[in-house]
Every structure is written in structure tokens, then in C-alpha cells.
């Protein structure tokens, strides 16, 4: 439906508030560069916020768009129904009702963490030390769910306390910067399964979910070419066999990327706090490891903690690897279709919800990212009905079935990679591995 005249006026533009300029999509696309950026949200065309250094110098020159609307803005019937459902959920107050789950989870994490410390420091048995490593990995998984929830919505009702929980359970406990995670994850939600925009599908040179990635496409997120060279071709050709072993040590890549982000990224909110939190992890975890009596126990401890946590890395991949992909930026008028097509739900009974951390309702989570996970099971039937009404696929599989779908997707791309033509010769393989994103 077309936006109302009142909605078209930009905030703070009192003068000429009723004088609305209509702008075509063609004209809007002409202002898409970093230093001349116009933004269209639900048909309203506004200049960028002054908080962005790259757009501040152009704000005065782009003021022509401050009281404007897209003349040819339309919304698909499915997205229109989705917006009505969103309004109903908001009116029901579901976005504000978090429930007791976060508090219970924090207590569980604390108990498991101190149990791991006891087994590692107070017990002499090598099996106790190995179990401690497994508990640390399980704590990291729960911390991941906690960070994910707190990054999307308030979990305590107080922003300062939420921030404390984020840094303690994320940066300090896992070594992963919450600022780095938000940057990646917010982009993933906006451009779900876009091969050139979504960082969660950009895992070259190790993995490729589609042969479209064999064309040396440009990553708009990492600002570099996702090169399909000889090294990528070799690694991707066997990715269906290397996927699970790599997931066991995938934590290493996340730790490296997180550290690089807080140290080198130009704009990091509360950089010193982020660095201090990550530094705290690199203080307690190595000290815990070296406290073990010998090297084989230390290596086993680290590998077991990483391997257990690797279950979560697999879970992240199951929700999107086998779903539809596309190339190009997302569009605002087909949000519902893009999110449902690019996501996969995991079928499980309610008593297993703790294991999946809310991601078993990936479609619902992508449609309503600020909705606390305790409500996702409730809204799933309404989402399925909308998909059925508009002839859209509502993809869901068991945990085992999702693994099979992911393996088949990787295998299909691997077989095509073997016959594809690669580009430039590879750099050193160690260099390639260190520059792996995703």
C-alpha cells in the first residue's frame, strides 16, 4: 500500500512538511554511493543519519530527499500480510515479554563454568580434565545463545545491565567480541543468503554453497574479491568431507576475526571495553590450559572444548546452507519471501529447545528478530499459514535431515568445483587459511 503523506515527511523538517517530492526507483538508485546515499524505508526517502562519517559531508546536498517518497513503491501481498502479523504481535506485547529463560540460562552457565574449573584445577584424573574441556565447550555454546538473544532484544529490561551481560558472557567468557558479532550478524539478517552481501555464506576458500561463488564475486561486506583460485578449487572440491572436521576447530577462525575487528576496524562502539573483555578471555583460558599437568592433556582439553563448541557452528550452517541463495542486494518490498526462502527450521520437540537456542525456528526468528525465543514456537503456525496462503515454501527438517541437506549441498557444489575453471594461482595456503572469513 502507498505510504501516507504524513509518513513521508522527514523528522525535523517542519518547513514544507506538506510539500512531498516523489522520487522514482531509478532516481533513488542514482544515489547509492557511500558519499551520496539516499535511503528508502517503507516508501519514505530520507537522507542518512549524521552519525556516519562517510555521509555527513553530503547531508546538506541530499536534503532534497528529506521530505520525499518513492513514487513507485509497492509491497508484495505476502509482505503486506507479514506486516499485519508483525503489528498484531507488537500489539500483544510479545516483544517486551522475555520470560525467565535468560536468568535460568545465566545461572546454568555459571554452574557449568565453576564445575569445569573444579574438574580442571581440583581433580587429578585425566578424564576429569577432559570432561572439564567439554564443559567449557558447552558453556561457550550457551554463551553463544545468550549473546545472540542479547544482541537482538533486551534480556534484563535495562540497557546497561544487558551490556554487562554481553561483555561478560561474550567477550570475557568466549573471546568473541559482541561488537564484531553484531556487525556480522546484523548484515546477515538484512541480506539473508545473498552471496555477495551476507558474510555467513562467504567462507572462501574453504566452503562454497553455490557455483555462483566460482565467479570471483565481490564481497560487499569484506570489501574484497572472493577469489576462486587453484587453492579454493582444491579445498572446495572436497568440502563435503572436510566440513565436519573444520567445524571442530572453526572457533580458531572466529577468535582471529574477532581480535582483528576490535583492533583494526575504524569504528568499534566502546572499543576499549571490547578489547578489555577479549583480553580477559586470553588471560583466563590459557592460564587454565597451562595449569594441566602435561602437554597431551592440554592439547586434549583445547581440542575437546573446541569440538564440543563445534556443534553450534554446525547448527549455524544448517539453517541456511541448503536454502535458496541469490546475488545482489536485498529489496524492501519482498522481505517475507526472501527471509522464508533463505532459512530452514529444525523440527524438534519442546523439551529439546534448549539444545537449539531458538535457532530451530530460524524462519520465525528472521521474520521477527526482536521476538524473544520463548515466543517463536507460538508464532510458527501463523507463519506456516502465511506461507501456505501465498504459495511459498516453508522449509523444515529434523536435525539429522538438515545435516543431510547441508552435506548434499556441499557435495553438489564440490563436484561442480572440480570441473570449474579457477582464476589466479593461489597464495600460500597458510595465508589463505588465515584470511578465511565467515
- What ranges do the domains of the chain cover? 100-192+233-399
Q: Say whether 396 sits in a helix, a strand or coil.
A: strand
Residue 335: predicted pLDDT: 81
At residue 422, the pLDDT reads: 66
Cα dihedral value 288, 293, 294, 295, nearest 10: 0
State the Cα–Cα distance between residues 330 and 338, nearest whole angstrom.
8
Helix residue spans in 319-428 (DSSP H): 335-341, 353-356, 362-367, 376-389, 399-419
How much is the pLDDT for 367?
Answer: 94
Rounded Cα distance, 87 and 363, in Å: 18
CA distances from 282 to 37, 171, 173, 246 (A): 40, 10, 9, 22
pLDDT at 36: 80
What's the pLDDT score for residue 37?
Answer: 79
- The pLDDT value recorded for residue 91 is 94
Residue 101, pLDDT score: 86
pLDDT of residue 133: 97
Task: Going from the first residue of the chain to its last (438 residues), give the mean pLDDT of each consecutive group of 10, the final group possibly shorter.
Answer: 36 48 81 78 69 37 54 82 93 91 91 96 96 96 90 84 91 94 92 94 94 93 92 95 96 94 92 95 97 96 96 95 92 83 95 91 95 94 95 94 97 94 54 50
CA 395 to chain centre: 19
Identify the pLDDT of residue 22.
84
Q: CA 22, CA 42: separation in Å to the nearest integer?
A: 14
Percent of the chain scoring above 70 in pLDDT: 87
Q: Which residues of 69-87 are buried (b: 16+ CB within 10 A; e: fewer)?
A: bbeebebeebbebbeebbe
Instruction: Read off the C-alpha cell for 120.
Output: 580442571
Q: What is the pLDDT of residue 67?
A: 65
What pTM was computed for the model? Answer: 0.83
Distance CA 262, CA 264 (A): 6
Amino acid at each position: 500500500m502507498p505510504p501516507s503523506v504524513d509518513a513521508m515527511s522527514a523528522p525535523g523538517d517542519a518547513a514544507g512538511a506538506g510539500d512531498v517530492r516523489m522520487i522514482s526507483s531509478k532516481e533513488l538508485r542514482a544515489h547509492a554511493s557511500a558519499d551520496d546515499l539516499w535511503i528508502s524505508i517503507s516508501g519514505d526517502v530520507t537522507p542518512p543519519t549524521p552519525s556516519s562519517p562517510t555521509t555527513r559531508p553530503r547531508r546538506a546536498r541530499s536534503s532534497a530527499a528529506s521530505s520525499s517518497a518513492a513514487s513507485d513503491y509497492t509491497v508484495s501481498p505476502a509482505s503486506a500480510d507479514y506486516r499485519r502479523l508483525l503489528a498484531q504481535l507488537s500489539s500483544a506485547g510479545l516483544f517486551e515479554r522475555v520470560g525467565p529463560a535468560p536468568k535460568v540460562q545465566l545461572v546454568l552457565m555459571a554452574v557449568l563454568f565453576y564445575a569445569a574449573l573444579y574438574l580442571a584445577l581440583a581433580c587429578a584424573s585425566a578424564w576429569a580434565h577432559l570432561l572439564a574441556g567439554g564443559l567449557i565447550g558447552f558453556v561457550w555454546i550457551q554463551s553463544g545463545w545468550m549473546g545472540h538473544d542479547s544482541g537482538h532484544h533486551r534480556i534484563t529490561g535495562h540497557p546497561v545491565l544487558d551490556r554487562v551481560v554481553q561483555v561478560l558472557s561474550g567477550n570475557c567468557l568466549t573471546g568473541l567480541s559482541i561488537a564484531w558479532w553484531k556487525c556480522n550478524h546484523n548484515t546477515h539478517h538484512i541480506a539473508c543468503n545473498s552471496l555477495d552481501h551476507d558474510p555467513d555464506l562467504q567462507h572462501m576458500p574453504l566452503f562454497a554453497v553455490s557455483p555462483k561463488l566460482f565467479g570471483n564475486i565481490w564481497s560487499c561486506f569484506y570489501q574484497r574479491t572472493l577469489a576462486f583460485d587453484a587453492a579454493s578449487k582444491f579445498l572446495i572440491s572436497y568440502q563435503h568431507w572436510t566440513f565436519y572436521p573444520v567445524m571442530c576447530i572453526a572457533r580458531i577462525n572466529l577468535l582471529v576475526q574477532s581480535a582483528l575487528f576490535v583492533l583494526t576496524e575504524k569504528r568499534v562502539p566502546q572499543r576499549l571495553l571490547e578489547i578489555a573483555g577479549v583480553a580477559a578471555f586470553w588471560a583466563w583460558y590459557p592460564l587454565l590450559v597451562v595449569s594441566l599437568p602435561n602437554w597431551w592433556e592440554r592439547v586434549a582439553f583445547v581440542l575437546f572444548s573446541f569440538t564440543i563448541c563445534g556443534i553450534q557452528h554446525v547448527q549455524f550452517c544448517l539453517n541456511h546452507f541448503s536454502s535458496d541463495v541469490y546475488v545482489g542486494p536485498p529489496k524492501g518490498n519482498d522481505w517475507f519471501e526472501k527471509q522464508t526462502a533463505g532459512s530452514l527450521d529444525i523440527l524438534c520437540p519442546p523439551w529439546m529447545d534448549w539444545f537449539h537456542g531458538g535457532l530451530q525456528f530460524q524462519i520465525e526468528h528472521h521474520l521477527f528478530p526482536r521476538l524473544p525465543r520463548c515466543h517463536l514456537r507460538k508464532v510458527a503456525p501463523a507463519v506456516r499459514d502465511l506461507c501456505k496462503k501465498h504459495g511459498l515454501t516453508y522449509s523444515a527438517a529434523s536435525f539429522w535431515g538438515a545435516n543431510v541437506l547441508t552435506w548434499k549441498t556441499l557435495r553438489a557444489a564440490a563436484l561442480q568445483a572440480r570441473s570449474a575453471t579457477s582464476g589466479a594461482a593461489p597464495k600460500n595456503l597458510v595465508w589463505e587459511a588465515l584470511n578465511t572469513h565467515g
